[in-house]
Structure 1
Amino acid sequence: MRIYSLKVFYQPNNNQPHENPIKILKYFFISLFAVILLFLATVYLGYKVFFKPEYSEVPTKEAIVNHSFCFGVECQEKPTTTEGYISILAAQIKRYNSETNTYWPNNSVKDYYALVESIENKKGWLISPDGKIQNLTTAEITAITHSRPRYSVGFSEFEHQGKKGMYLALSEKDLTNVLQYEKYSHLGTYDLFITYAHELFHMSEQNKWKSPEKVINASRSDRFEDLDARVQRNLIYQQVLKAIVENDTVRKQENIKAIVSSYRYYQKNFAEDYKSSLFMDRIEGSAYYFEMITSLYSAYPNQIKTEHDLYEGLKLIAQNTNPFEGIGLGIEGYWLSGWTGVLLDQYEGDQKNDWKLQLMNNPNSTPLEILSNKFNGIDLPTPQRVTEKDKIKIQSWIKQREETSNLPALFQFMYQIIF
C-alpha cells in the first residue's frame, strides 16, 4: 500500500495587478474629508436649525421690586454694544475689589484681573481690579494664556507677568438673550461677573480649606430616584426662606427651630442622601452665598450701600424665590445651603464670621450642620410633615427635568468650539 501525502501550495498570480497605494491613500483622505464635512454640517444645522437654543430679548421673569429696591434684568442698564457691556463688567469688578474683606473672612479672592474674549469675533479685553480696560488682539490674549475655553460660560485661571486673573469667554449672542441670565436677579446683567466671583472662590479661597478624607457623591448625582428625600430637602428649603423673611425675633427663632427639627429628621431617615449632600452643601453652598453677596454689592451700588441694605435686599429676593425651581441634590447644594448661610448671618449678627471660619476648618461641616449644632440640648418642635401636594409638585418637576433634552446645549457647545 502506498501512502500519498497531499500538499496544497498557494502560488500567486503574477498577472493580477496590485492596488496602487497612492490610490488607496486618496480614497482614505476623501472618505475622511467626507466624514469631517458631514460632522461639521451636522453641528452647524443642529445648532442653527434643529436644536436652536431659546432666545428672547424680552424678560420672562418680572423684576423684584418694593419701595426700596429693584432687582432683575428690568432694573439694570441694557448695553447696546459689546463694549458697553465690558464697561458694565469693569465697573462691577472695580466695586467688588474695593471691599474684598467685606464678603468673607481673610478673603483670598482679591486683585484678580478679568481677561474677556469674544466667542464670535476676534476681540478681547483685559480688565484690571480697579476697573481699567485694555483692548487686546487674539495674539495678545494667547500670549497671556493658552487656556482659552471659547464656549459659553468658559473660564480658566491664568497668571502672566505678575498679573493673576480669570479668563472669561463672552458670547455676544447670549449678551442680548436674557433667558440665559434673567434667573440671576441678584446680578441682573449678563453673568460673567458671577463666573468671575463664584469660580475664583472655588479656585483661590476654597483651595486653602481643610478637605474631607473621602468625598461621597463626587459625581454630583441629583438622586432623583430618592423622591422622599427630595421632598424633605425641599421642605427645609421652604422653611429657610420663610425664616429669612421673618422680621419678628420670636417667630424667627421658632422658624429656625422648625428648620433644625426637619433637618435632623432628614439626617436620621435619609442617611444615604444626607451623606451624599455634605460635599455639595459645603463647597457649592458657600460659593453661591459668596456669589449672592458680591453680586448685590457689585451690581447694585446705588441700592446696596450698607450692610443693612444688603440683608434687606436679600430678604426681598428670598421672599420672591420659588423653592420648586431647583430640585435635585446638586442644585439644592447651591440654593438651600447658600440661603442657609444668609440665615446664619442674620442669626449670628456681629459674629457672622464664626460660621464661615467653622466651615473652612471643619471638612465635614455645612451651613445646615452648623445651624443645627447651635440648638444642641434645646427642645425642638415635632418635625413638620411634608404635604402630598408638594410631593406631587416635585415629582412633576423631576419628570419634566428628566424629559428635557440636553441637545440644544450640546450643539451650542460644539458650534462655539468649532466655528
Structure 2
Amino acid sequence: MEFKKSAIVLGAIAAVAGLGLMASHAHAAGTEFGITNARADKDVDTYVHKTFANQVKAYHKVAPSLWPKNKNVNQYAIVNGVDDKKFWMVTPTGKVSDMTKKEALSYDIDPQPISGWFMSFNAHGKSGAFMAVTNEELHDTKRLVRYPHLGTYDLFITYAHEMFHATEQEGWASPKKHYNAEQNEYMKHTDARRIRLQLQEQLMAAYTNKSEKSLAQALATYRYYKQNYEKDYKATFEDDRMEGTAYYYEIRSSLFAGYPDKVKTMKQNDAAVRTLFKQNRLAYLDSGAYAETYNVGALASFVLDWQADKQGVSRDTWKKAMDSAKTNPMDYLDKHAKIFYIPPYKATMTNAEYKTMYKKILNYKNLAD
C-alpha cells in the first residue's frame, strides 16, 4: 500500500476544524461522555501503555465494519514523547514496545518538537501514523475535554481521522478542480455562513430526534444555498466529502475505542452519537467555509445512516458512493432522502443573530479574541 508522504501540525488544524474545545460532561442512561475521573495518566509513557494502546486495540476489533472494504485497518502507530525523547511502537493489537530514535527514523519519519505533529509512514512491512505528544498537551485540561466522543487526550482522534485520509481516501477520485484548496474561510460571505450554520442545526436535529420535519427543512436550506450561492457551494463541496466523512469516521471510531465497555454495537454507537449531539451541541457546530465542512459532511453522513436504515438499504451504499468526486454526503442525501414534502426555505436567524451565535461557539471553544 502506497501512501502520499504527509506531515501535518494538528494543533493548527483543530483551531478551524469544528472540533469542540470545552465539551461538558454528558449523562444519559448512566453513560458519561467527555473527560472522566478515570483519565489520570501522569506522563506520556503511562498514557501510551495504559490508554492509547487499549484504544488502538479496541478500534481494530471493529474497524473492518466501519467502512466497506475498509483500508484503515492493520495500522501501526509510532508515538514520540517529545519531552523525554522516547519512542514507542504500538501494534494494531495494542502491544507496545520501546524504540530507539534510530529505529524510529528508519521508518522515514521526521520528528519535530511541535504540538500535534503527524505523519503517515509505510516501511518495513508496516504502515501507520507517527505522532508526537508533549507533557504540556497531556496535562492541558482544555485538550482533555476537547472531544466528548473520545473522553480523553485526542491522540487516537489523530490516528483515526488522519489515517482515514491516508488509507481509505487515498484511492478516491479527485475533482478536476478544488475550488478552495487554500482553505479560505470566506467569513465575509455572511449570508452563506449563516445559512450553512442553520443547515448544521437542522441536520443535527434531524438525526438526534429522527425527525423527518427537520430533515425536510435541512434539504430546503441546502437547495436554497446551492441555488443562490454557487461560488460558496463550489468552495465547500470537496471538503464536505473529504473532511466530513473523515470526521464522521473519527466520531464512530472514537466512541468504540474510548468507551469499549459502553459502546459495543453500532446500535449503541448510534445512541451515543445522539446523546453527544443533544448534550454537547456547540462542540459539533462551526462556521467558516472550510471549518464547517467537517460538521456539515459528518452530520449529513449520520443522517444518511439513519435514512439507509429507514429505507431498508445497507449503510455501505452511500459510503461506496463517496469515492466519486461528483458527490458528497449532503448532495447524496439531497438526492436519496425519501421526504414527501420539502417546504420553502425559511431563514431561522438574521445575520446579526448569526454573528452572536458564532461568537457563542467561539467562546465555548475558547477561540474567541
TM-score range for the pair, normalised by the shorter chain length: 0.7 to 0.9
Measured after TM superposition, the shift of residue 377 of structure 1 is 9.4
1:159 pairs with 2:122 = yes
CA distance in 1, matches of 2:355, 2:41: 42
Kindly report which structure 2 residues correspond to 1:175-194, keeping only aligned pairs within 5 A, or say none. 175-194=138-157
CA contact (8 A) 1:227 1:395 kept: no
Partner of 1:186, secondary structure, is: coil
Kindly report which structure 2 residues correspond to 1:79-94, keeping only aligned pairs within 5 A, or say none. 79-87=41-49, 88-94=51-57
Measured after TM superposition, the shift of residue 121 of structure 1 is 1.5
Partner of 2:267: 308
Partner of 1:184, secondary structure, is: coil
The code of the aligned residue for 1:315 comes to R
Choose from 193, 196, 199 the match for 1:233: 196
CA contact (8 A) 2:285 2:361 kept: no
Choose from 279, 287, 290 the match for 1:330: 290
CA distance in 1, matches of 2:39, 2:355: 40
CA distance in 1, matches of 2:288, 2:341: 30
Inter-CA distance 111–358: structure 2 relative to 1 (3 Å threshold):
same
Partner of 1:113: 76
CA distance in 1, matches of 2:144, 2:224: 35
Choose from 343, 349, 360 the match for 1:381: 343
CA distance in 1, matches of 2:297, 2:183: 15
TM-superposition CA deviations, 1:128-174 (whole Å, max 9, x none) = 11111001222222233342233111111122321212111111211
Inter-CA distance 383–157: structure 2 relative to 1 (3 Å threshold):
same
Inter-CA distance 345–269: structure 2 relative to 1 (3 Å threshold):
same
CA distance in 2, matches of 1:67, 1:376: 31
CA contact (8 A) 2:286 2:361 kept: no
TM-score, structure 1 as length reference: 0.77
The code of the aligned residue for 1:387 comes to M
Inter-CA distance 324–390: structure 2 relative to 1 (3 Å threshold):
farther
The code of the aligned residue for 1:330 comes to Y
TM-superposition CA deviations, 1:179-215 (whole Å, max 9, x none) = 1241211011111111111111111111101111111
CA distance in 1, matches of 2:146, 2:38: 14
CA distance in 1, matches of 2:348, 2:244: 23
The code of the aligned residue for 1:62 comes to S
Choose from 285, 299, 317 the match for 1:354: 317
CA contact (8 A) 2:200 2:285 kept: no
Stretches of structure 1 that go unaligned for 5 or more consecutive residues are 1-58, 406-419
The code of the aligned residue for 2:172 comes to W
CA contact (8 A) 1:148 1:156 kept: no
CA distance in 1, matches of 2:337, 2:77: 43
Partner of 2:168, secondary structure, is: helix
CA contact (8 A) 1:327 1:394 kept: no
TM-score, structure 2 as length reference: 0.87
Q: CA RMSD in A?
A: 2.3
Partner of 2:137: 174
CA distance in 2, matches of 1:213, 1:75: 49
Measured after TM superposition, the shift of residue 117 of structure 1 is 0.6
Inter-CA distance 75–383: structure 2 relative to 1 (3 Å threshold):
farther
TM-superposition CA deviations, 1:257-304 (whole Å, max 9, x none) = 111111101111111111111011010000000000000011100110
CA distance in 2, matches of 1:270, 1:280: 16
Kindly report which structure 2 residues correspond to 1:16-415, keeping only aligned pairs within 5 A, or say none. 61-74=23-36, 76-87=38-49, 88-247=51-210, 252-320=211-279, 321-322=281-282, 326-349=286-309, 350-360=313-323, 362-375=324-337, 379-388=341-350, 390-394=353-357, 396=359
Measured after TM superposition, the shift of residue 336 of structure 1 is 1.8
CA distance in 1, matches of 2:219, 2:87: 49
Inter-CA distance 268–76: structure 2 relative to 1 (3 Å threshold):
farther
CA contact (8 A) 2:284 2:295 kept: no
Larger Rg over CA atoms: 1
Partner of 2:57, secondary structure, is: helix
Partner of 1:37: none
CA contact (8 A) 1:175 1:190 kept: yes
Inter-CA distance 146–318: structure 2 relative to 1 (3 Å threshold):
closer
